Amino acid sequence: MSNLKWWETAIIYQIYPRSFQDSNADGIGDLQGITSRLDYISNLGVDAIWISPFFKSPQKDFGYDVSDYFNIAPEYGDLKDLERLISKAHALELKVMLDIVAAHCSDQHPYFEESRLSKDNSKADWYHWLDAMPDGTAPTNWLSFFGGNAWSWEPRRQQYYLHNFLASQPNFNFSNPEVLDYFEEIARFWFEFGVDGFRLDAVHTINADEPPFKNNLPNPEFSPGPLPLDQQPFFRQLHDYSQLNQPSIQAFCSRMRQVSDSYDDRFLMGEVDGDNDNAMKVSKTFTQTGRLHATYNFDLLEWDGLTIEEMKEVIDNAVETFNDTGKLCFAFSNHDVPRSVSRQIFPLNLKNEDSENLQLLLLKLVSCLIGSACIYQGEELAFEDVTDIPVEKMQDPWGIEFAYTFPGRDTCRTPMVWDSKAPNGGFSDANQTWLPIGKQHYKRDALGEVKKEASVYNSFSRFLAWRKKQPAFMDANNMTKLSGSQRQITFDRISDKQILHCCFDFDTLTASFEEI
């Protein structure tokens, strides 16, 4: 038996609930829909599911703007639906992880609604409030990731409040111990409910230090790139003062770890990122003793994809910093970036007809790295990005803000296609779905691919079954630095019982494994 915890080797399947399966014909995926598809996920051979937020929310950022952390948005179901989902998942030996958004909430959260009314109410200092500069401008030059200033004016308080994303997503003030107490209450509620772990959203954007806040400095490495993403003003700044260089953030991580350690086998994975090349340094800070178990790493999620050489650099950096630990979770796709097979075709000099073999190779690669790995719904089907969504049907606030030059995140969030012969691809019986169905996904509908022996789904399922029998993957998180030719990623995975030589060839688009 391995001495590693389940999360140190887990393959985690990310579900974007709004787009997974609709059970009540309203065009929006829901918890009952997820429950109905758990066998499909279990048969793939993954170890856990991570469900993006389904808490009560006005849905301005589709669940990442929570108005009630203890209740479920009615379009997704209710607590009984979640109870049934967890029960069935556990019966299938799947762990269940929830997405907790701690850095900010919705401006419709009752605590913010109270806080904005005056400077002397019971929630007055639960958020970051500062006076205007003498000329009436915002307190610092900090920018919002979604465009514009990171400070918005509240006329009732006659002060500015901080938001790293939408103006409707005010940041909590974690220097207030009552805020820490509140999130302990949230964590305990869901652990008691039966949840196995949390993916903590954007914890590097938690603001915990006290004023005076400093202006961010210019990013010396910024130069407008070919992609609209590269041209956005946010990236012209370093974010040491607004996000990353705040040691008080770790008070939150330590408190959450104390809570999780008071239960059996609970996992904390924090989403963190860093400016330029310091993401590994940031991850190391967040996973020091007594903090988070692991971080969800962004380095393989570059918007325009990575060359083989760039992938090698990312993996070598991970090995140098985290070898012999399970403190990293890698992913090639998620709900915030274009789908991996679409991003990677061009930088790897491949053709569209290579997409299935490439997707399978990427899935195998990410599953063989140290630590855990997340795969995003549809990767097991080699789904491509959906780039033909009309502007008038876009839903992502980031994409809408920069429409006509930047497609935003809708392209990877379109509903799952389950049955090419059914209305709306089997996702929903509604007349209209919340986002258009990606017609290109009909050729690899999920239920059809399950029946094909050579499909990406079945090939990856067989691989995961084989992986679970290899001590080099399951008993240790030890790997060598990379070797191999220019078009290969090659390394050894090492345990006391086995050394496994792993080679991922981007010419033949095949993976090979040899016990040595």
Mean pLDDT of 302-313: 95
pLDDT value, residue 232:
82
pLDDT value, residue 173:
95
Q: Which residue has the tokens 């290579």?
A: 354
Mean pLDDT of 321-348: 97
Lowest model confidence (mean pLDDT) among 174-178, 280-284, 293-297: 280-284
Q: Is the pLDDT of residue 256 over 80?
A: yes
Is residue 514 classed as helix, strand or coil in its secondary structure?
Answer: strand
pLDDT value, residue 225:
75
Q: Is the pLDDT of residue 227 over 70?
A: no
> For the stretch 476-493, what's the b/e string if a residue is b when 16 or more beta carbons lie within 10 angstroms of its beta carbon?
bbbbbebeeeeebbbbbb
Mean pLDDT of 312-318: 95
Number of Cβ within 10 Å of residue 495's Cβ equals 17
Q: Is the pLDDT of residue 469 over 90?
A: yes
Q: Work out whether strand 11-15 and strand 372-376 pair parallel, antiparallel, or are unpaired.
A: parallel
Q: Is the pLDDT of residue 273 over 90?
A: no
Which element (helix H / strand E) includes 316?
helix 308-322
Alpha carbon distance 80, 496 (integer Å): 45
pLDDT value, residue 309:
97
Number of Cβ within 10 Å of residue 443's Cβ equals 13
pLDDT value, residue 210:
82
> What percentage of the chain carries pLDDT values higher than 90?
89
Mean pLDDT of 357-377: 98
Contacts of 464 (CB under 8 A, 6+ apart): 11, 44, 45, 46, 367
The pLDDT confidence band at residue 1, using thresholds 50, 70 and 90, is low
pLDDT value, residue 395:
97
Q: Is the pLDDT of residue 157 over 80?
A: yes
More reliable by pLDDT, 210 or 20:
20
Active-site residue, selected from the candidate residues 271, 302, 380, 449: 271
Alpha carbon distance 162, 171 (integer Å): 6
Q: Is the pLDDT of residue 184 over 70?
A: yes
pLDDT value, residue 223:
87
- Phi then psi for 353, rounded to 5 degrees? -70, -10
3-state secondary structure string across 95-147: EEEEEEECCECCCCCHHHHHHCCCCCCCCCCCECEECCCCCCCCCCCCECCCC
Q: Which stretches does DSSP call E strand in 256-389?
A: 267-271, 294-296, 328-331, 372-376
> For the stretch 178-189, what's the b/e string if a residue is b when 16 or more beta carbons lie within 10 angstroms of its beta carbon?
ebbebbeebbee
pLDDT value, residue 240:
85
Q: Which residue has the tokens 């910093």?
A: 321
CATH topology classification for 6-105+177-476:
TIM Barrel (3.20.20)
Reported as a single tens digit per residue, the pLDDT across 79-102 is 999 999 999 999 999 999 999 999
Mean pLDDT of 161-167: 97
Mean pLDDT of 182-195: 98
pLDDT value, residue 245:
63
Mean pLDDT of 267-290: 88
Q: Work out whether strand 499-505 and strand 48-51 pair parallel, antiparallel, or are unpaired.
A: unpaired
Alpha carbon distance 395, 210 (integer Å): 35
Identity of the amino acid at 422: A
Which element (helix H / strand E) includes 462?
helix 456-467
Alpha carbon distance 233, 214 (integer Å): 18
What's the predicted TM-score (pTM) here?
0.97
Return the domain boundaries, the chain: 6-105+177-476
Alpha carbon distance 25, 469 (integer Å): 41
Q: What is the mean pLDDT of the chain?
A: 95
pLDDT value, residue 10:
98
Q: Is the pLDDT of residue 277 over 80?
A: no
Tokens of residue 38, six digits: 């758990």
Mean pLDDT of 319-326: 96
Reported as a single tens digit per residue, the pLDDT across 24-46 is 999 999 999 999 999 999 999 99
The pLDDT confidence band at residue 368, using thresholds 50, 70 and 90, is very high
Q: Is the pLDDT of residue 77 over 70?
A: yes
Alpha carbon distance 19, 330 (integer Å): 22
Mean pLDDT of 471-486: 96
The pLDDT confidence band at residue 404, using thresholds 50, 70 and 90, is confident
Residue 83 annotated among the catalytic residues of the structure: no
Active-site residue, selected from the candidate residues 47, 61, 81, 201: 201
Identity of the amino acid at 229: L
Alpha carbon distance 3, 94 (integer Å): 19
Tokens of residue 37, six digits: 């598809």
Q: Is the pLDDT of residue 176 over 70?
A: yes
Reported as a single tens digit per residue, the pLDDT across 191-226 is 999 999 999 999 999 987 888 899 999 999 998 876
Alpha carbon distance 388, 17 (integer Å): 22
pLDDT value, residue 433:
98
Residue 131 annotated among the catalytic residues of the structure: no
Contacts of 439 (CB under 8 A, 6+ apart): none
